[in-house]
């Protein structure tokens, strides 16, 4: 089955709402691993709205599975990532005014720069993923950066309101996943996935990893993070067993 990386950013969002010390995203990461998560994802944003450098550095010490750092390809964050050495970095776009990441990285407009960033990380033995929309031209450009992975943005699929729209967006994701896999990428997927819509995405056998955060954390507020993670893992597992 596809592996599950749990994004614990929104544990930090609750903490930062009061500028206090709890809830601790590090504790959430540990409990997620104990529940069976295959990895932990965090996004160290330039504005530090949720995850802080302290969280990243402690997680580097305590996460036993895989630590995936989402980040903008800026000099400040690159230097922090190179110093901390997460198990993987995922390059994402970033806007100060956005609530959350709004779309995939525009690789076409900065292909040369991104190729240099990828080289820096690969020279430090840190695998690189690029968060990208299900767009063939962007994928072709991403291939030229020599990144190891691409994470296909499932945002529009997740936001679809009608069955027809959902099918259309799923078909785009499926085509992008197949193209990326045949292009030699390790393929990940994520953004907006929920307990209700993840099964169809998880059933795509070319996807090796799913990144899911907000919906798991929202469920965890009600039932606890260990149960929330186990429930998501169960659905993902069932996706490859039953139609």
Which bin fits 98, alpha (ψ -120 to 50), beta or left (φ > 0)?
A: beta
Which residues are catalytic, by number?
43, 70, 191
Residue 206's pLDDT is 98
Residues recorded for the chain:
243
Tokens of 221: 């507020």
Residue 101's pLDDT is 58
The closest of 116, 101, 109 to 137, measured between CA atoms, is 109
Place of tokens 């009600």: 222
Residue 102's pLDDT is 65
Residue 94's pLDDT is 83
pLDDT tens per residue across all 243 residues of the chain? 899 999 999 999 999 999 999 999 999 999 999 999 999 999 999 999 999 999 999 999 999 999 999 999 999 999 999 999 999 999 999 876 555 556 899 999 999 999 999 999 999 999 999 999 999 999 999 999 999 999 999 999 999 999 999 999 999 999 999 999 999 999 999 999 999 999 999 999 999 999 999 999 999 999 999 999 999 999 999 997 755
User: Residue 93: helix, strand or coil by DSSP?
Assistant: coil
d(CA 193, CA 2): 14
Q: ∠ CA(172), CA(173), CA(179), 5° rounding?
A: 90
Tally helices (H) and strands (E) across the chain.
11, 8
Tokens of 47: 């504005």
Give the domain CATH number at 49.
Answer: 3.20.20.70
Strand partners, 212: 6
- For residue 231, the number of C-alpha atoms closer than 13 Å in the C-beta half-sphere is 16
pTM of the predicted protein model:
0.94
> How many structural domains is the chain composed of?
1
Q: Which domain holds residue 117?
A: 3-239
d(CA 103, CA 87): 23
Q: ∠ CA(168), CA(174), CA(178), 5° rounding?
A: 150
């Amino acid at each position: 089955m596809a592996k599950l990386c749990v994004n614990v950013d929104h544990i930090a969002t609750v903490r930062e709402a009061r500028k206090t010390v709890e809830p601790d995203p590090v504790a959430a990461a540990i409990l997620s691993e104990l529940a069976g998560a295959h990895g932990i994802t965090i996004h160290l944003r330039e504005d530090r709205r949720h995850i802080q450098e302290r969280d990243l550095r402690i997680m580097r010490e305590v996460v036993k599975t895989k630590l995936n750092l989402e980040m903008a390809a800026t000099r400040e964050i690159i230097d922090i990532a190179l110093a901390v050495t997460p198990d993987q970095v995922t390059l994402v776009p970033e806007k100060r005014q956005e609530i959350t990441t709004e779309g995939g990285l525009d690789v076409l407009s900065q292909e040369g720069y991104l190729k240099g960033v990828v080289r820096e990380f690969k020279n430090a033995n840190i695998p690189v993923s690029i968060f990208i929309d299900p767009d063939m031209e962007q994928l072709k450009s991403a291939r030229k950066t020599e990144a190891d992975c691409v994470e296909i943005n499932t945002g529009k699929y997740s936001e679809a309101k009608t069955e027809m729209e959902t099918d259309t967006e799923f078909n785009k994701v499926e085509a992008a996943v197949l193209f990326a896999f045949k292009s030699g990428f390790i393929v990940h997927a994520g953004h907006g996935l929920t307990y209700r819509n993840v099964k169809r995405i998880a059933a795509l056998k070319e996807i090796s990893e799913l990144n899911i955060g907000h919906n798991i954390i929202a469920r965890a507020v009600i039932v606890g993070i260990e149960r929330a993670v186990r429930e998501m893992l169960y659905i993902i597992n069932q996706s490859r067993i039953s139609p």
